[in-house]
Amino acid sequence: MHTAFGQSTVLGYPRIGGDRELKKAVEAYWAGTVDADTLESTAARLRAEVWRTLRDARLDAIPSNTFSYYDQVLDTAVAVGAVPSRFTRLGLSALDTYFAMARGVDAEPALELTKWFDTNYHYLVPEIDAGTVFTADPAKALREYAEARELGITTRPVLVGPATFLLLAKGDDPFARLDDLVETYAEILTALAGAGVAWVQLDEPAYVADRSPAEIDALRRAYTRLGALADRPRIFVATYFGELGDALPALLDTPVEAVGLDLVAGPGNLHRLAAAGPLGGRTVVAGLVDGRNIWRTDLRAAVAAGATVAGLADHVVVATSCSLLHVPVDLAAETGLDPRLAERLAFARQKVDEVVLLGRALRDGTTALPAPLPPAPAAWRHDDVRGRLAALRPTDRRRGDYPSRAVRQQERLGLPELPTTTIGSFPQTSELRRARAAHRAGDLDEAGYVRRMRAEVEHVVRLQERLGLDVLVHGEPERNDMVQYFGEQLDGFAATAQGWVQSYGSRCVRPPIIYGDVARRAPMTVEWSTYAQSLTSKPVKGMLTGPVTILAWSFVRADQPLADTADQVALALRDECRDLEAAGIRVIQVDEPALRETLPLRRADQQAYLDWAVGAFRLATSGVADDTQIHTHLCYSEFGEVITAIDALDADVTSIEASRSKMEVLDDLAGIGYARGVGPGVWDIHSPRVPPRDEVVEALRRAVAAVPARRLWVNPDCGLKTRSYPEVEASLRHLVAAAVTVRES
Ligand code: GLN
Ligand code: ZN
């Protein structure tokens, strides 16, 4: 059997297709316009395209089983038979059972969706309990391996590793099932070996976060057992998104033949490796090319790091730091970018070339590397912004004390107890999307576009007045996306044409690229907000996206600390807040839904992140007078680790996802002494269900028990852009009626 690993590899590659073909095919299948066979043949074509691309690029170790109809964690759940009985009971085909787990069906909600480590990719959370019966189902991995073989391409099947799989699962102590699960992996590995598979990749990224000694022991036990299998492929344990820590020596205690380290997100892995002692003929897969960001690799630095690894290990493979799932497919599709920017970029396809080149350079030492890039153009620098940042004082991030702010704001706003509001967006009808697209394409002129959007704003304002809401919004009809919208109006940001990245399932996003100093050219939202305010005597909330979220959902510059970029964005937002205030807007919401998502995986790194994240938010929001009310909004639950940071944001009102967690977040906030306004979501907008009035009343009663009524706000969980008008009207009617009922009781 041929067992050499190769020189160069990627840990995974985008599966959506260069033109989002997978999204289109899957959605057509869901809509019933194509059948399962057509979907499957599109999928097979996309897989073949990826393998051919990698082979033609001369990558010599090619992964398979990185394709997915929805999510690789869900695929792994299926591969180990972890399909909850609530789905098998439906009696659907294998494919439809899979999609039922991913999306839910009428009778059965989907598996929970949550963020994949600190990325913006979402995976489906496996449900595991004592009753889960694991059974090996290697069909998908075998099939992909065979498909590639037919093209003459030998691949390395990839699976999420057993320890990470259980650490990501929910249920009654899933990790306690590791020994059981490892037996099922053993069966899978045996089946793969039977099909001639030489190498398998098992991903264990959960071990770059803090793990208990027991969890590390369990990892050692798992791979000792798998390594002892008589008939198995060689095992490559891949880790990524950070530093491996004590799990590295544990893995080196086992017979696994290759270990992968992320040297981009975890440069300290190099020292760990040096300290780990003899590697015993093991292969080290060195993640030297950033799989998370879109900048070209500094090849000289990468060769130097690779050479250090080569001095420690018998065999080094050059790789991406993680799967390329997190970057767009191909820079060649971007014809509209400034060439001075484009020459600095590498998308998935270009990163493969870098990996190949580095592999060669490390092997023969003579490969010529391309010339380093010229310095960034001077025009990308804004000395005024830099000067303002350098001159900042601590007081620029501080407002007056909250009790007197609250009094002055109430004098100005005159709100009832339990004021009602929404989170910002109203339904984005297909008609609205068409109008924005026509404007973009030049088919709808500026005046026509503004007229159309204003009509929508007026409609939304009238609706809210009719419903009796207290603090209104303009509805965000002009926004395609809460980050892109600002990116398009700020210097230092570039938008791509085809830079799609999978966010979850068929959902793709196109993150903007922050490449230079951020500066505001002109007010960005003031006209829309003041137009809305001109239509009503009720206060209209200005609506901005916060600095942390703007960074989290963009590709960020790698040439300066994130904290500096965040402060640059914050200064632009600070100016916007002041302009809104000067134009008569009395309430401004600055959304930070991503505050939790970018929290570093290791506790030791978290405080530094929270310090700059909170500092940037406060810089953005502290320029206004005490009687201007600042709101913030957070979603995607599990606020545990950031709860004190939420308090530190010092917003006057925090609206927060709570309906699914049954208001528990209020106790958490009370527990840390949070004493400002709070709007726990009383309607789960992620579901098309209209909450009955009594259910909202009950949620509010629970909330009033945890928070004094004078600090409590009544609002949905999140924005309404994905909902339809009939649902929104009915639900908001119930929400307002419930607030009135609870006020009067
Ligand atoms: N203001 C935004 C909206 O309503 C907030 C979206 C979010 O939290 N993700 O759409
Ligand atoms: Zn939200």
Same domain, yes or no: 323 and 429: no
The answer to the question of residue 411 being in a domain is: no
Question: Is residue 69 located within the same domain as residue 143?
Answer: yes
Same domain, 318 and 442: no
587 lies in the same domain as 731: yes
Which member of 459, 474, 686, 734 is catalytic?
A: 686
**Orientation of helix 139-150 relative to helix 36-56, angle to 10°:** 60
Query: Within 13 Å of residue 157, how many CA atoms lie on the same side as its CB?
Result: 30
What is the residue with the minimal CA distance to atom 9 of ligand 1? 593
Distance 571 CA to ligand 2 centre (A): 23
Strand 501-504 relative to strand 283-289, pairing: unpaired
Query: For residue 479, which atom of ligand 1 is closest to its CA?
Result: 10
* Residue 3 pLDDT level (bands cut at 50, 70, 90): low
Within 8 A by CB and 6+ apart from 139, the residues are none
* pTM, full prediction: 0.95
Q: Give the atom of ligand 1 at the shortest distance from the alpha carbon of 422.
A: 4
pLDDT confidence band for 404 (50 / 70 / 90): very high
* Judgement on whether residues 570 and 690 belong to the same structural domain of the protein: yes
Among the listed ranges 207-221, 514-528, 566-580, 629-643, which one has the minimum average pLDDT value? 629-643
Nearest CA to ligand 1 atom 8: 593
The C-alpha atoms of residue 625 and residue 297 are separated, in whole angstroms, by 45
**Eight-state DSSP code of residue 422:** -
> What is the distance in A from the centroid of ligand 1 to the CA of 718?
6
Cα separation values, 547 from 294, 575, 613, 632, Å = 20, 13, 8, 12
**What is the average pLDDT across 385-392?**
98
Whether 32 maps to a domain, the answer reads: yes
Binding-site residues, ligand 1, Cβ < 6 A: 423-425, 476, 482, 543, 591, 593, 633, 635, 718-719, 721
Q: Does residue 115 have a known ligand-binding role? A: yes
Whether 334 and 186 map to the same domain: the answer is: yes
Q: Which ligand 1 atom minimizes the distance to the CA of 423?
A: 4
Q: Band of the pLDDT at 637, cuts 50, 70, 90?
A: low
List strand residue ranges (DSSP E) for 76-154, in order: 113-115, 122-124
List the single range of 53-67, 71-85, 140-154, 678-692 with lowest mean pLDDT. 678-692
Mean pLDDT in residue range 41-46: 98
- Would strands 113-115 and 122-124 be described as parallel, antiparallel, or unpaired? antiparallel
Question: What is the distance in A from the centroid of ligand 2 to the CA of 271?
Answer: 40
Q: Is 718 annotated as a binding residue?
A: yes
- Domain for residue 343, yes or no? yes
Residue holding tokens 């909600």?
A: 109
Are the beta carbons of 735 and 696 closer than 8 angstroms? yes
Quote the ligand 2 centre to 361 CA distance (angstroms).
47
* Residue 425, annotated as binding a ligand: yes
Q: Distance from the CA of 635 to the center of ligand 1, in angstroms?
A: 9
User: Is 423 among the annotated ligand-binding positions?
Assistant: yes
Residue identifier of the C-alpha nearest atom 1 of ligand 1: 424
Interval 222-235: pLDDT, tens = 999 999 999 999 99
Which of these, 213, 168, 179, 199, lies nearest to 74 by C-alpha position?
168
Q: What's the mean pLDDT in 209-222?
A: 98
The answer to whether residue 394 sits within a structural domain is no
Average pLDDT over residues 281-295: 97
For residue 696, what is the domain's CATH number?
3.20.20.210
- Mark which of 302, 337, 368 sits at the end of a domain: 368
Of 368, 384, 407, the residue at which a domain comes to its end is: 368
Question: Would residue 686 show up in a list of annotated catalytic residues for this protein?
Answer: yes
Q: Per-residue pLDDT tens for 437-482? A: 999 999 999 999 999 999 999 999 999 999 999 999 999 999 989 9
Co-location of 334 and 228 in the same domain:
yes
Question: Which ligand is the nearest neighbour of the Cα of 635?
Answer: 2
Whose C-alpha lies nearest to ligand 1, atom 6?
719
The closest of 648, 647, 644, 665 to 717, measured between CA atoms, is 665
Q: Averaged over 713-729, what is the pLDDT?
A: 95
Q: Is the pLDDT of residue 421 over 80?
A: yes
Ligand 1: nearest atom to the Cα of 593? 8
What total number of domains does the chain contain? 2
pLDDT over 50 at 2, yes or no? no
φ and ψ of 717, to 5 deg: -70, -35
Q: Is 391 a domain residue?
A: no
Cα–Cα dist 165/156, whole Å: 19
For a mutational test of ligand 1's pocket, the pick from 633, 685, 732, i.e. the residue with the most ligand atoms closer than 8 A to its C-beta, is 633
Q: Are residues 127 and 229 in the same domain?
A: yes
Model confidence at 108, pLDDT cuts 50, 70, 90, reads: confident
Q: How confident is the model at residue 147 (pLDDT cuts 50, 70, 90)?
A: very high
Instruction: Specify the pLDDT at position 663.
Output: 83
Q: Give the number of whichever ligand sits closest to the CA of residue 476.
A: 1
CA distance 70 to 68: 5
Q: What is the pLDDT of residue 1?
A: 37
Q: Considering the domain boundaries, does residue 1 fall inside one? A: no
Q: Is residue 426 located within the same domain as residue 286?
A: no
Pocket test for ligand 1, best of 113, 425, 553 (most atoms within 8 A of CB): 425
Ligand nearest to the CA of 718: 2
**CB atoms < 10 A from the CB of 713, how many?**
23
Task: Note whether residue 90 is domain-resident.
Answer: yes
Give me the mean pLDDT over the 101-124 stretch.
91
Question: Is 69's pLDDT higher than 50?
Answer: yes
Instruction: Read off φ and ψ for residue 662, nearest 5 degrees.
Output: 55, 45
Domain range for 662 is 420-744
* 22 is an annotated ligand-binding site residue: yes
Mean pLDDT across 720-745: 96
Q: According to the 3-state scheme, what is the secondary structure of 165-226?
A: HHHHCECCCHHHHHHHHHHHHHHHHHHHHHCCCCEEEEECHHHHCCCCHHHHHHHHHHHHHH
pLDDT of residue 364: 86
Q: Which atom of ligand 1 is nearest to the CA of 425?
A: 4
Rounded to the nearest angstrom, the distance between the alpha carbon of 674 and the centre of ligand 2 is 20
The pLDDT of residue 366: 76
In a domain, residue 398? The reply is: no
Express each pLDDT in 584-619 by its tens digit: 999 999 999 999 989 999 999 999 999 999 999 999
Strand pairing class (507-509; 513-520) = unpaired
Is-contact 250 219, C-beta < 8 A?
Answer: yes
Q: Are residues 96 and 219 in the same domain?
A: yes
Averaged pLDDT of the chain? 95
> Is 476 labeled as ligand-binding?
yes
| Residue 414 confidence (pLDDT) above 90 | yes
Report whether pLDDT(717) > 80: yes
Interval between CA 681 and ligand 2 midpoint (Å)? 9
Task: Identify which ligand lies nearest to the alpha carbon of 592.
Answer: 1
281 shares its domain with 213: yes
- pLDDT band at residue 638 using 50, 70 and 90 as cut-offs: confident
Same domain? For 112 and 28 the reply is yes
514 labelled binding-site residue: no
The per-residue b/e assignment along 716-726, b for 16 or more CB within 10 angstroms, e otherwise, is bbbbbbebeee
Give percent of the chain with pLDDT exceeding 90: 91
Model confidence at 684, in pLDDT bands (50, 70, 90)? confident
| Ion ligand 2: protein residues whose beta carbon lies under 5 Å | 593, 635, 718
> Which of 368, 391, 407 is the last residue in one of the domains?
368
Please choose, from the candidates 505, 487, 504, the residue with its C-alpha nearest in 3D space to the C-alpha of residue 496: 487
Stretch among 126-135, 192-201, 579-588 having the lowest mean pLDDT = 126-135
